[in-house]
Structures are given as C-alpha cells and as structure tokens.
A and B are shown apart, each in its own frame.
Chain A
C-alpha cells in the first residue's frame, strides 16, 4: 500500500533552518501538503499544493517538491514552531494519506 515517509524527529536551535522531508512514490504526480499540530491542538494547514502558504502563515514557512520527495523548510525556526508536522497527499486510487509525522524540537 502507498505510504508517505517522514523522519520521526528533527531538532534545531532557534534561528536555524529546519527541514522536514516526506517521501512517497506518487509525489511526482500529486501535490504535497503540510500540517502543523502543536501539543493539545488541532492541526493547521501551513503549506498547500507543494509550496503555497495560506494567509496568516509566517513567511519563514516554505515548501518544495522534487521527484518523490517533498520538503517543508522553516527558515529561522522559532521556539513557537515546536510542534508535530505531518505531510499529506493523495494517490491515484483516491486514497487520502498522512505521513507518520515529524516532531520538531527547537531549543
């Protein structure tokens, strides 16, 4: 079955650039999306259609996709960016899939 694979954890110091990857065989043909989930809160969309940022999301969040890998980049990560991040996409069969999530630590 189709899977989206993320690293379990990423750690950076404040002000550094954090990169979270997501790999999946359908990504060359399907958009990647990224959700941020802070502790005890609902997920929030931070990147859609590979690289677009919803209104209200800080400019330090950006996305890219190449081949079978999508990447969420947080340039100058802040302590408040500490959260779980989930990539999401669809496959050719219409399945809606989340990656396993990446815990971002900023300290």
Chain B
C-alpha cells in the first residue's frame, strides 16, 4: 500500500536552514505530483508547495515563496523540501502527500505521511 515517510525535522534557530525528505513506496512515484502541507501546533492545515511528476513545474504558497524549494528524485522515490531563512512562524508539522492532478494542476491530496516536526526557536 501507499507509504510516505517524512524525516529531517528538528530544532533550528531563526534564519537557519533545514532539509526535509519524504520516502515513498507502494506506488509508482514518478507517475504522481507530490506536495508538502504543514500544520502549526494547535492550528489548521496550510498547503506549502507542490511539484509535478517530472519536476517541470513547481508552485509555492506566498508565505514560503523565495525561501523554500521543493524537489524530487524519481530514481530514489524521494521528495524534498529545502527550507531557508526559517522564521518562528514556520514551526509546524510538515506532511508530504501524494497529489491527484487534473489538467496539469494539483487538484487534491490523496495520501499523507505521518509528518515531521520542525521547530524554529
């Protein structure tokens, strides 16, 4: 079955950097768009970024644009999120998710990993 396992979270100082990874299994990774979604402690869900199956297209929420970079390695069945210039408000659990795309655009998140906690303090 579909498995998504995030890693790389931890404690980082404001202004610092962190790289998250998501290992995918149970499906043909290269066939799917992938996304990162985050959830601040006690708060709701916020979409962060998504990437097309071939990495040809990426999209970011305004809150992270210019600071975060999404990428993927289809040979390794892995998704990444490089986070730079981190701020306290980036503190959240970060989930990776498999995306269903329609007409070249991300439509919805079909499966989610268990998340990894990033604390900026």
A residues lining the B interface (CB < 8 Å): 31, 33, 35, 37, 41-45, 48, 54, 86, 88, 90, 94, 96-101
B residues lining the A interface (CB < 8 Å): 35, 44-47, 50, 59, 95, 105-115
Chain A binding site: helix, strand, loop or mixed by DSSP? Answer: strand
Query: Nearest CB to that of A96 among chain B residues?
Result: B47
A41 to B93, CA, bound (A): 11
Q: Given the complex, which residues of A lie within 8 Å of B44, measured CB to CB? A: 86, 98-101
B115–A42 CB distance below 8 A: yes
A48 to B114, CA, bound (A): 20
Q: What are 18 A-B interface contacts by the 8 Å CB criterion? A: A31-B107, A33-B108, A35-B45, A42-B95, A42-B113, A42-B115, A43-B109, A48-B110, A54-B110, A86-B44, A86-B45, A90-B106, A94-B59, A94-B105, A96-B35, A96-B47, A96-B106, A98-B44
A45–B106 CB distance below 8 A: no
A43–B106 CB distance below 8 A: no
Q: Given the complex, which residues of A lie within 8 Å of B111, measured CB to CB? A: 45
Closest chain B CB from A24 CB (angstroms): 15
A99 to B45, CA, bound (A): 8
Q: Given the complex, which residues of A lie within 8 Å of B95, measured CB to CB? A: 42-43
A35 to B105, CA, bound (A): 20
A101–B45 CB distance below 8 A: yes
B113–A88 CB distance below 8 A: no
A88–B108 CB distance below 8 A: yes
A41 to B39, CA, bound (A): 12
B113–A45 CB distance below 8 A: no
A101 to B111, CA, bound (A): 19
A60 to B53, CA, bound (A): 34
Closest chain A CB from B91 CB (angstroms): 17
Q: Given the complex, which residues of B lie within 8 Å of A43, measured CB to CB? A: 45, 95, 109, 112
Q: Given the complex, which residues of A lie within 8 Å of B46, measured CB to CB? A: 98
Query: Nearest CB to that of B106 among chain A residues?
Result: A96
**Most-contacted residue by chain B among A45, A48, A96 (CB, 10 A):** A96
A86 to B115, CA, bound (A): 17
